[in-house]
Homo-oligomer: A and B are copies of this chain.
């Protein structure tokens, strides 16, 4: 099988698709829109999960599990919520198959559900129906719960990791006694996501709030982190919602306060998904394949022996054993690729494709000279270095690479973020040099929709750190108080 992939410049979209499948990350399944996450791709997800799970626990959250199915009537209780999700729901209507007598397996019409069940696209409704039983007084609050789960949204156009009918995610659902506490929680989790994406995915993000158009269905306010991909398109990497009392009202969840007053509970929800794997790929990888930040790489170091005779191999094995013992001790993951069915060049290309950060190649001359060839994946630089102190050098290099990959992505984003002051300039930039565009907007949904219709660019967020700066809307000329972040997006 050829491992070569299309280059980013010739067809970015095709490059992505080929990379995902050829690097053994995921593939399309026989079920429309659903993916198979292969072991190598899943290993990246496991690293993400472990890190996030610890961050959630460190901020006081516990995990729990709620049903996959949601009764249709629950779904309808929060008006804007059902409107947001109704058109993409997998619906369970029956609970039995039968043999039709001619050897065909058919749905048993006698086993029709009285009320249809929706496969969860998100769990606010079933969870708030549950919280009703958990909350009576302020002593029962806050509830700080997270769930790791699969969800289904029947998307028509799907793309591995980025948009699939079924995906894996975590969804936090918290309940609070006060508005302030809930707002603080939603901001806290946006910051946790930003920390994770910047320091583990090595990907700089813009923190902000969504406009009304782009807000989660049922939220009062949606916080988000937005990242820029190499093709200049934005990708929403995580969202955290302040839900106000909307779901508490829909499911009648009230509590008695310290002062003895009865009030509705305040809510948040927040989630990131396997979509982050798509972001990781699109942000850093190159025409030779994946570039993985060391902190999320399933294999951080690959050692490839180069030899002709069994005797040469035996000598390299001894070195490899020593290196492996040291790598293990430092908690660095490794692979000793001594397959005799493939040649070194094939192996080099394969591990480049799979984004292993550091490659050590050792041949007979190296053995004589006490050296190895050390190659780093991000820059593809190679150097001959001493076997003495090698593992310390690798450990330092992995840290350097993590930072260096981040710096490169940050430089790219800086390069591709521009302020524009007219609609003509706005359109020109989007076509000629796509990226983040900071522009003044009059604050209305109508303007936002018209800009989207005409340019396919949306407001990714109103950045939280942007300075107040009076200006005029590039589209209507009406007054504006600050620039917002536009981009075409995944």
Docked-complex contact B63 and A36, CB < 8 angstroms: no
Residues of B within 8 A of A90 (CB): 69, 92, 94-95, 117
Residue among A93, A126, A145 with the highest chain B CB neighbour number at 10 A: A93
A118: nearest chain-B partner, CB-CB: B97
Measured CB to CB, the closest approach of chain B to A74, in angstroms, equals 7
Docked-complex contact A35 and B67, CB < 8 angstroms: yes
Measured CB to CB, the closest approach of chain B to A140, in angstroms, equals 11
Q: Convert A242-274 into 0s and 1s, putting 1 for each residue whose CB lies closer than 8 angstroms to a CB of B.
A: 000000000000000000000000000000000
Docked-complex contact B72 and A97, CB < 8 angstroms: yes
Q: Does A447 contact B (CB under 8 A)?
A: no
Docked-complex contact B65 and A42, CB < 8 angstroms: yes
Given contacts A39-B145, A105-B75, contact A65 B168 (CB under 8 A): yes
8 A Cβ contacts from A25-72 to B: 27, 29-31, 34-39, 42-43, 45-46, 62-72
Residues of B within 8 A of A64 (CB): 36-39, 42
Q: Does A456 contact B (CB under 8 A)?
A: no
Q: CB < 8 Å: which of B30, B43, B166 contacts A129?
A: B30
Given contacts A38-B64, A64-B39, A116-B107, contact A91 B92 (CB under 8 A): yes
Given contacts A96-B89, A98-B87, contact A69 B166 (CB under 8 A): yes
Docked-complex contact A97 and B87, CB < 8 angstroms: yes
Docked-complex contact A42 and B29, CB < 8 angstroms: no
A87: nearest chain-B partner, CB-CB: B96
Docked-complex contact B152 and A68, CB < 8 angstroms: yes
A95: nearest chain-B partner, CB-CB: B154
Q: Give the size range of A's interface with the partner.
A: 35 or more
Q: CB < 8 Å: which of B66, B70, B91 contacts A93?
A: B91
Q: Does A217 contact B (CB under 8 A)?
A: no
Q: CB < 8 Å: which of B66, B71, B92 contacts A119?
A: B92
Docked-complex contact A133 and B97, CB < 8 angstroms: no
- Complex CA gap A117/B34 in Å reads 12
- Complex CA gap A63/B42 in Å reads 7
Docked-complex contact B36 and A66, CB < 8 angstroms: yes
- Complex CA gap A217/B65 in Å reads 28
Given contacts A31-B71, A67-B36, contact A97 B107 (CB under 8 A): no
8 A Cβ contacts from A147-171 to B: 149-150, 152, 154, 166, 168
Q: Does A445 contact B (CB under 8 A)?
A: no
Q: Does A418 contact B (CB under 8 A)?
A: no
Residues of B within 8 A of A130 (CB): 27, 29-30, 36
Q: Could you list 10 examples of A-B contacts with CB < 8 Å?
A: A30-B74, A34-B67, A36-B130, A38-B64, A65-B168, A69-B90, A86-B96, A87-B96, A91-B97, A93-B93
